[in-house]
């Protein structure tokens, strides 16, 4: 038996049915325009789907400097030394928990020094002196130090002290783009700003060292040390008394112009329901030798713990990223035809006509079907569907009932191409 190579190597191609219905065409066009706008405006322009994005990493070094003018505790209402201003100045409201105040230098306020990506600034100190009452290793010596009463003091005007923030960052793009300075930098080469919670700029920083007062930094986060603390067990105490934890975010970006150096933005958020303290122990020799002091002073420091966090978005144009974005977005165009087709085949009085135009059934070739032709290539040509070209659909066949629903023997007649107009 000869092989029919035309049959074996036949080329198959999809069949396209043109449905001449203006409303379906308008609906498809509406979806195509909407999806095209989504691809062009949102995916590529607004979301910048052509960029390869990286998150910067870096480090922060801080230095504290106290106010360079003489500070008087009598000027501040949280100090017990406070002297109210004379009339006609408005009366000063009473402070939540005033204490005696001390005037400290920066090295006293900043303890412990040289903390990685953080800084502690003391606002209150509890000072107590303890004496040795027994040796550490002697029998029955559970607590070798006497418990002395502590004296509490506020540190005067810490808000006026300034913090010099030196920060740097880099990204993987810096390595993959041959150490291009567009993808790395430091505060010495980058410009930036300090913003509040509403993204309003409070300060701008040219390239160099970023110097900010503690009061300005707290104001950016709407933080007032005179407010009552929300930490557990600190009811009736101010934040100046209990201490707080402040998160300082440094975010870098070059999305405004990927061909220019990045800029940075500093924002401040207080960590809720958190206090901070650290204890410093100073041993005094008291004539017993350095290895076994008989007296020590405890400095229980409460204050502001600044934690510096770096992040942001650094991006570069990337062809593979653009191709992936386009492929993903263009796949949505098929949704327009899919939605219109579902409506065409399932909604409206003409849905069965559209179904007949789209799908073609062969005759049944079952062994029990004696009426089927022996030629398996016989199919329904749906020649009667040429009547769809008429403007008046009632001309398809006499009677409007035929148009609103298929006839009872519709399936059988269609199967053999028996329906005619």
pLDDT score recorded for residue 406: 47
Cα 71 from chain centroid? 42
Q: Which two tokens stand for residue 302?
A: 């409460």
Rounded Cα gap, residues 167 and 146, in angstroms: 45
Q: Tell me the C-alpha distance between 245 and 307, whole Å.
A: 7
Asked if residues 188 and 210 have their Cβ atoms less than 8 Å apart, the reply is no
Domain boundaries, the chain: 15-50+318-335, 55-315, 348-421
- Beta strand 295-317 pairing with 277-284: antiparallel
pLDDT at 296: 86
Class at the top of the CATH hierarchy for domain 55-315 = mainly beta
Which pLDDT value is given to residue 366?
Answer: 54
Structure tokens at 294: 């008989």
Q: What is the mean pLDDT of each run of 10 residues along the chain (421 residues)?
A: 78 78 86 87 83 88 86 90 78 81 92 86 93 72 79 93 92 76 86 93 91 94 92 88 95 85 93 91 66 82 95 87 82 82 84 79 56 48 44 41 42 39 34
DSSP state of 142: S
State the Cα–Cα distance between residues 254 and 48, nearest whole angstrom: 12
Rounded CA-CA distance 142/136 in Å is 8
Alpha helices in 125-273, H assignment, sequence order: 172-176, 214-220, 239-242
pLDDT in the model for residue 332: 81
pLDDT of residue 195: 95
Using only the alpha carbons of the chain, give its radius of gyration.
40
Nearest to 168 by CA among 306, 62, 267, 246: 62
Looking at the whole model, is its pTM more than 0.85?
A: no
Which residues have CB under 8 Å from 110's CB, separation 6+?
64, 119, 120, 121, 122
How far is it, in rounded angstroms, from Cα 209 to Cα 166? 6
pLDDT reported for residue 390:
38
């Amino acid at each position: 038996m000869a092989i029919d190579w035309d049959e074996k190597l036949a080329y198959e191609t999809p069949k396209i049915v043109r449905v001449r219905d203006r409303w379906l065409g308008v609906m498809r066009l509406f979806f195509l325009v909407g999806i095209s706008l989504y691809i062009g405006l949102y995916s590529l322009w607004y979301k910048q789907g052509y960029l390869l994005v990286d998150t910067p990493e870096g480090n922060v070094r801080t230095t504290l400097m106290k106010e360079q003018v003489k500070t008087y505790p009598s000027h501040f209402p949280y100090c017990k030394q406070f002297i109210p201003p004379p009339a006609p100045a408005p009366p000063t409201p009473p402070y939540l928990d005033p204490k005696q105040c001390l005037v400290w230098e920066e090295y006293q306020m900043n303890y412990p020094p040289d903390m990685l990506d953080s800084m502690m600034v003391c606002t209150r100190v509890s000072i107590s002196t303890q004496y040795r009452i027994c040796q550490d290793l002697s029998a029955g010596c559970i607590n070798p130090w006497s418990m002395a009463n502590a004296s509490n003091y506020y540190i005067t005007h810490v808000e006026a002290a300034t913090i010099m923030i030196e920060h740097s960052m880099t990204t993987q793009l810096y390595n993959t783009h041959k150490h291009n300075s567009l993808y790395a930098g430091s505060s010495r080469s980058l410009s930036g700003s300090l913003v509040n919670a509403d993204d309003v700029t409070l300060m701008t920083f040219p390239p160099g060292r970023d110097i900010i007062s503690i009061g300005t930094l707290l104001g950016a986060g709407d933080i007032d040390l005179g407010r009552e603390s929300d930490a557990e067990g600190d009811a009736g105490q101010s934040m100046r008394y209990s201490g707080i934890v402040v998160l300082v975010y440094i975010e870098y970006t070059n999305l405004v112009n990927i061909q220019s150096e990045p800029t940075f933005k500093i924002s401040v958020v207080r960590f809720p329901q958190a206090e901070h303290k650290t204890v410093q122990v100073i041993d005094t020799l008291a004539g017993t030798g350095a290895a076994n002091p008989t007296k020590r002073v405890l400095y229980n420091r409460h204050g502001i713990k600044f934690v510096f966090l770096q992040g942001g978005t650094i991006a570069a144009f990337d062809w593979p990223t653009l191709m992936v974005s386009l492929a993903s977005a263009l796949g949505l165009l098929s949704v327009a035809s899919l939605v219109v087709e579902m409506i065409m085949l399932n909604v409206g009085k003409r849905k069965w006509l559209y179904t007949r135009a789209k799908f073609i059934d062969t005759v049944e070739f079952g062994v029990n079907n004696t009426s089927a032709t022996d030629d398996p290539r016989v199919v329904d040509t749906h020649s009667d569907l040429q009547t769809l070209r008429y403007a008046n659909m009632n001309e398809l066949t006499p009677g409007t009932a035929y148009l609103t629903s298929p006839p009872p023997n519709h399936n059988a007649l269609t199967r053999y191409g028996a329906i005619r107009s």
